[in-house]
Amino acid sequence: MRRILPMLVLLFAATAYAQEETRITVPYERFVLPNGLNVILHEDHTTPTVSVNIWYHVGSGREKPGRTGFAHLFEHIMFEGSRHVPEGAFDEWLEAAGGSNNASTSQDRTNYYEDVPSNALELALFLDSDRMGYLLDAMSPETVDGQRDVVKNERRQRLENSPYGLAFPTMFENLFPPGHPYNWPVIGSMEDLSAASHDDVVEFFTRYYSPANASLAIAGDIDPEEARALVEKWFSDVPARAPVPPVDPPVAYLTEEKRPLLEDRVSLPRLYMAWLSPRLYAPGDAEMDVLASILTGGKNSRLYKRLVYDLQIAQDVSAFQYSLEHGSSFWIIATARAGHDLDELEEVIREELDRIRMEPPSEREVQRAINQYEAGFLRGLERVGGFGGKADRLNGYFVRTGNPDYFNEDLARYRAVDPIDIQAVAQTYLRDDGRVALSVVPEGQLELAASGAGAKAE
């Protein structure tokens, strides 16, 4: 009894602590330059480092059919020099100062960051301001051609020559109608990349890489007053440009099941299933995240336990909510083990989805998923830089909600989810007559594809 009692006390204490909602505090200052650049400053002296993070509100969703791949192409061109920064100097000067940098492109945005020692803040601001204001002075047709070839090779490596590489583009083509900004891959098509002229690229930069279409977040070991003075010093001379109109995409809605099929140079068949789901931050978005965790988040999750552990018919299985600004998609991906086909996997997946539609998951399942999400959310706040650090999140919240300090509102969405909510989103969005089920099978083994023969119409 002596040994058990302290453990019980600790258990009750931990439970009480877990039930207390942690209030997140990320203080910031925000100001806008006369040219329209939004600036967010966050002071954090935990380490002598600073993250300079810029979001441009332009991704592949801003492109036009026939001219895709421009947003990602610019991610490369932005490192190739500007008026006062010779080609190759961007990385060289940052690394000499002890810094690092990276960039990424999505359907909705392109972002860039530099993580530097705090005494190199001015260098990072100079580099970013020069390419925002004076990139075109150094962007020759030869520069465009060189980076175009780099991107085309990247497409070959990631899509054409990568196992299962064409699965995601195929899924998005079937999920979203032609003309929708999510219908084509972020990296663009070979034909469009080849057809892009220097004038096309100049027009794209001039329209979207403007101060008013950007958000600059600086987080870390800074004095806000000094940081503001440096921002004004380096960015105030960047010329303002015309405002960018909002995107008005066509409605995406599936009225039937689609079953595309790809043969690929792979050894195991893989099943991709996806449904259209609530856009980022809309009601239902957080619930879909929690549902994904219930299905595949850990060894005790429903699909992992049945497919991988109990039945041993799947090599792996994952589920996730692919959240975007103009419409999301909910995915389940499973790879069959040798000797098994995709019909076997689909049958089990359908059974588990039917179970959730018929009966809500347990309170314990939902709370475990919420706890896992909250732990990851809070861990991300331990750093200021990189993708998902505080600078990146401040920018993301501002661009998407207009409020940089959206941390508590974001986390509250998950804390409010209950089992009935999970059942409701499964019934509403995971319809058998509103999904795409793609089979990717080894070449010449079409019999391994999912036929959908056991599916029932709703």
Segment 119-151, tens digit of pLDDT: 999 999 999 999 999 999 999 899 889 998 999
Least confident of 58-62, 146-150, 291-295, 338-342: 146-150
Reported as a single tens digit per residue, the pLDDT across 212-268 is: 999 999 999 999 999 999 999 999 999 999 999 988 899 899 999 999 999 999 999
Quick one: fold of 261-448? Cytochrome Bc1 Complex; Chain A, domain 1 (3.30.830)
Phi, psi of 37 (to 5 degrees): -70, 125
Sign of the dihedral through C-alpha 231, 234, 239, 243: negative
Identical fold for domains 29-235 and 261-448, yes or no, is yes
Half-sphere exposure of 17 toward its Cβ, with a 13 Å CA cutoff? Answer: 6
The neighbouring-strand residues paired with 218 are: 41, 52
Whether the predicted pLDDT of 458 surpasses 50? no
pLDDT bucket at 196, cuts 50 / 70 / 90: confident
Whether the predicted pLDDT of 421 surpasses 80? yes
What gap in Å lies between CA 436 and CA 275, rounded to an integer? 7
pLDDT at 10: 40
pLDDT at 6: 46
Closest CA to 40 of 406, 414, 429: 406
Write down the residue that tokens 């909600």 correspond to: 401
What gap in Å lies between CA 341 and CA 319, rounded to an integer? 19
**Structure tokens of 205?**
């930069």
Whether the predicted pLDDT of 13 surpasses 70? no
Determine the 3-state secondary structure of 264 from DSSP. Answer: strand
pTM over 0.85: yes
Reported as a single tens digit per residue, the pLDDT across 38-47 is: 999 999 999 9
Q: In Å, what is the CA distance from 299 to each residue of 112, 294, 306, 424?
A: 35, 10, 10, 25
Would you list the domain boundaries of the chain? 29-235, 261-448
Rg (CA), the chain: 24
Triad 352, 261, 267: Cα angle to 5°: 85
Count of Cβ atoms closer than 10 Å to residue 154 Cβ: 13
Determine the 3-state secondary structure of 260 from DSSP. Answer: coil
Strand (E) or helix (H) holding 164: none
Q: What percent of the chain shows pLDDT beyond 90? A: 87
What gap in Å lies between CA 129 and CA 35, rounded to an integer? 13
Residue 301: partners with Cβ closer than 8 Å, 6 or more residues away = 293, 294, 295
- Mean pLDDT on 32-36: 97
What per-residue string of b and e applies to 386-409 under the rule 16 or more CB within 10 Å gives b?
A: beebbbbbbbbbbbbeeebbbbee
Q: Report the 3 state secondary structure along 55-106.
A: EECCCHHHCECCECCHHHHHHHHCCCCECCECCCHHHHHHHHCCCEEEEEEC
Q: Is 29-235 a CATH 3.30.830.10 domain?
A: yes
pLDDT bucket at 455, cuts 50 / 70 / 90: low
What gap in Å lies between CA 84 and CA 132, rounded to an integer? 12
